[in-house]
Amino acid sequence: MKAALALALTFVAADPAAARAPLPATVRHFIARRDECDHFRGEVEYDKARAAEMAAAFAKYCKGSDADLARIRRQYRHNRLVLKAVSGYETRIE
């Protein structure tokens, strides 16, 4: 019990705003997905196998992410925490 309380207090101390108002699950899911997408966008296709891997990753992580970003910005336009969380993502051509 004490360990769980200590762990909870660690998270509160690290980010008090997040402890009071966590991001909605849809936003957390978008961020995780988009981070994977952006990782693969920065990779180099050095052979056919890697190109195929990257194509599969783009289809899994990138497809529809621009539309998701636009929807999140519209849906949560009055939620400063959400807008701040997605502020670093830009719309790209998919």
Q: Which pLDDT value is given to residue 44?
A: 81
**Residue range 13-69, pLDDT digits in tens:** 455 545 556 899 999 999 999 999 998 888 888 899 999 999 999 999 999 999 999
Query: What would the mean pLDDT of 74-91 be, rounded to a whole number?
Result: 93
Query: What would the mean pLDDT of 66-87 be, rounded to a whole number?
Result: 96
Q: Which pLDDT value is given to residue 29?
A: 95
Q: Which pLDDT value is given to residue 74?
A: 96
- Side chain identity at residue 81, one-letter code: L
How is the chain split into domains, by residue range? Answer: 21-94
* DSSP codes joined into one string, 24-80: PHHHHHHHHHHHHHHHHHT----SHHHHHHHHHHIIIIITTHHHHHHHHHHHTTT-H
The reported pTM is 0.69
Q: Which pLDDT value is given to residue 7?
A: 39
